[in-house]
Amino acid sequence: MPTSLSSQCDEILRLSVNRAGGVPGVVAMATDRNGNFYEGAAGVRELGQAQAMTADSVMLMASCTKAVTGVAAMQLVEEGLLKLSDVAHQYVPQIADMQVLDGFESNGEPRLRPPASDITLNHLMLHTAGFGYEFFSDDLLRYRTFHDIPSVLSCTRAGLTDVLLHDPGAQWTYGSSIEWLGLVVEAVRGKSLGEVFDEYIFAPLGISDTAFEMTPAMQTRRATIHQRAGDGQITPVPDLVLPQPAEIQLGGAALYGTVGDYLKFIRMILNNGQGENGRLLKAETVEQMAQNGLGSIKSGAWKSSIPSLANDGDFFPGISKSWSYTFQVNDEPAPTGRPAGQLSWAGLANSYYWIDRQNGIGGMWGSQILPFQDAVSYPASVEFERAVYQNLKA
């Protein structure tokens, strides 16, 4: 690890914590195909407490879970147990009951209609099924409030009661599609999603500190989620933990783990499916997973309907972005130095990662603060990525 990169990244972490309104704590790591070449941590696991944020701190990975579920599904495709063209209700019958939200009556009652086509696994993988999240859609929040449906983050079957925001395949809408894909994986494997991850993904990757249900050892290292108020004040919310155990293990949202564990997953993608303890995917499958699957449709900005959970935002506004299985793809070079055609995504509590298969590098920035795309944590994550590329060019 060059001293210049180490000192530069350490300073980015330090400033993200120590500046006015800074985040309580952060962990950041970068890897090439062989191993991590930067690991850093700064701040504390919880404001007002003495425990330092460390490289092995456990965090809610939230939507960073999605790519892991995508790998579990593609393993089934490789084995011939699934085809992406399959109709989803073949495996999860209740998905056939989904209707399209077509507006609201004058009394506030939702108006529904049947979808124009069935939802396929391809739609789920690409977020074109029509599912949304209530915190990214005023209409969906209104529908779920009208019917008193619990949040998807309740990790309950009732929380997956839903409607579609458009016909399958009509557009890209970020939402609970991968939660449903996780149920498909469970149905085919005949095991819980956590058991599938442990056997088919985590064991070959040498991952031991990532799970839907935290072990006692993980719980002692858990970083607390914090809430930033409108005036910038930050408050720890130590009781904000997804159900342990949960009624449903959400394939799109509910893993807890360490940044170091996730770097092992990133490294597997960089190495075309090869993990530390075995191969997870064929190289041609990883290549397929890295390609834009949307055609002319694009992924992009979001608008928040629950400001305490997410800010309005976008990644690299003005740059064309598409979607693959199951990552965002920047169609054009990013201002950090990341070339076009690479992979990335994020987690609700302000974790961000990227995977650059062209240069053989990737990284992750992990913090635990809401709302999403925090005013301090997100820009610092961009500066961290930029520092890695500046060192690469040097």
Q: Which stretch of DSSP H or E encloses residue 234?
A: strand 234-236
Q: What is the pLDDT of residue 1?
A: 47
Of the two residues 181 and 394, the one the predictor is more confident about is 181
Annotation says 63 is catalytic: yes
pLDDT in tens, 345-360: 999 999 999 999 999 9
CA distance 208 to 222: 15
User: For domain 3-64+208-393, is the CATH number 3.40.710.10?
Assistant: yes
Task: State the pTM of this model.
Answer: 0.97
Annotation says 299 is catalytic: no
Is 34 a residue whose pLDDT tops 90?
yes
Question: Minimal CA–CA distance to 254: which of 128, 138, 156, 129?
Answer: 156
Sheet harboring 226-228: ordered strands across? Answer: 234-236, 226-228, 369-370
pLDDT in tens, 304-332: 999 999 999 999 999 999 999 999 999 99
Is 369 a residue whose pLDDT tops 70?
yes
> Percentage of residues in the chain with pLDDT exceeding 70?
99
CA distance 275 to 53: 27
CB burial of 139-154 (b: ≥16 within 10 Å; e: otherwise) equals: bbbbbbeeeebeebbb
Confidence label for 394 from pLDDT (cuts 50, 70 and 90): confident
The residue annotated as part of the active site, out of 91, 133, 174, 353, is 174
Say which residues have a Cβ less than 8 Å from residue 145's Cβ, sequence separation at least 6: none
Say which residues have a Cβ less than 8 Å from residue 190's Cβ, sequence separation at least 6: none
CA distance 218 to 98: 37
Confidence label for 160 from pLDDT (cuts 50, 70 and 90): very high
Domain with CATH 3.40.710.10 in the chain: 3-64+208-393
Q: Work out the average pLDDT over 178-204.
A: 98
The residue annotated as part of the active site, out of 38, 57, 66, 177, is 66
Contact at 8 Å (CB) between 64 and 353? Answer: yes
Annotation says 305 is catalytic: no
Coil vs helix vs strand at 201: helix
pLDDT in tens, 104-129: 999 999 999 999 999 999 999 999 99
Q: Work out the average pLDDT over 262-283.
A: 97
Is 163 a residue whose pLDDT tops 50?
yes
Contact at 8 Å (CB) between 31 and 354? Answer: no
Q: What is the pLDDT of residue 393?
A: 81
Number of helices (H), then strands (E), belonging to the chain: the values are: 11, 16
Q: What is the pLDDT of residue 392?
A: 86
Is 153 a residue whose pLDDT tops 70?
yes
Q: What is the pLDDT of residue 2?
A: 56
How many other C-beta atoms are found inside a 10 Å radius of the C-beta of residue 210? 28
CA distance 165 to 251: 20
> What is the rounded average pLDDT for all residues in the chain?
97
Is 238 a residue whose pLDDT tops 90?
yes
Sign of CA dihedral 207, 208, 209, 212: positive
